[in-house]
Structure formats: structure tokens, C-alpha cells
């Protein structure tokens, strides 16, 4: 079965992102496929390279990056929500005349069209946080 996950929760504000990560791992270990993970609203903060959690907390960014690298996952950050929250790729930072970019490696900016496509292609859409 093919899944798409939609993550609405910021890594530091809710359990949504951590739960989504555990769910993604369980899916892949069970032999299911994960078409896309789409980060929306405050969930886009999961893709900020500037996140620096305290040592006694989970580093969700590095865990998402590790999962992406191992399984070649499509980790999409909603571009409109990202701009509102200051998560920018280098090309967006340049276009918007901002001093720097902070989109983490392994994540890509995407529009709602990618979420619509994932909805059409996947057997199940599961949302986390919100």
C-alpha cells in the first residue's frame, strides 16, 4: 500500500512531527511505500536547518534527513507556508532579497499541486498535528 503523510505540527510545539516520523519508519519496515511527506502550516519548521534542540531532546531534523537519505523519500515543504515562517531555499532567499537561506538538506520547497498529486496517487493520506 502506498501512503502520503501530511505533517502540520512544528517539531518543538507538538508531538505530530515525532509521531509522523515513527509512523513513516513503521510503514517502511512493514513493506509499505511512502510516496511523499508534505509539511504544511507550522510543520514547515521541520525543514529548517537552523533548528538546534537541546541535547536532551530529539533532533527530528537529523532523523528526517537520515530517513530521507536511506529511503530516498520525497520531503516537501509548502512554499507559501515556508515563506511566511522564514524557511527559505537559496533561490527563494535570493528572489525575496533575504540575507540567507535555511532550508535543510533533503527537503524541497513545493506547492499544493504536489500535495494534490500525492493525494491522487496514494492509497492512504495520513495527517499529523494541526
Q: How many secondary structure helices (H) and strands (E) does the chain include? A: 5, 5
Q: Is 78 a residue of the active site? A: yes
- Which residue out of 7, 61, 78, 88 is catalytically annotated? 78
User: 7, 20 in Cβ contact below 8 A?
Assistant: yes
C-alpha cell at position 109: 520547497
| Residues that are catalytic | 78
Amino acid at each position: 500500500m502506498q501512503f502520503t503523510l501530511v505533517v502540520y505540527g512544528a517539531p518543538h510545539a507538538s508531538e505530530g512531527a515525532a509521531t509522523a516520523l515513527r509512523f513513516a519508519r513503521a510503514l517502511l519496515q512493514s513493506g509499505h511505500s511512502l510516496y511523499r511527506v508534505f509539511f504544511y502550516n507550522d510543520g514547515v519548521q521541520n525543514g529548517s536547518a537552523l533548528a538546534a534542540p537541546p541535547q536532551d531532546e530529539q533532533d527530528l531534523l537529523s532523523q528526517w534527513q537520515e530517513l530521507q537519505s536511506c529511503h530516498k523519500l520525497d520531503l516537501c515543504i509548502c512554499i507559501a507556508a515556508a515563506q511566511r515562517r522564514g524557511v527559505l531555499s537559496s533561490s527563494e532567499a535570493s528572489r525575496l532579497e533575504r540575507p540567507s537561506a535555511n532550508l535543510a538538506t533533503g527537503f524541497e520547497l513545493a506547492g499544493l499541486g504536489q500535495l494534490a498529486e500525492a493525494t491522487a496517487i496514494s492509497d492512504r493520506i495520513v495527517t499529523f498535528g494541526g
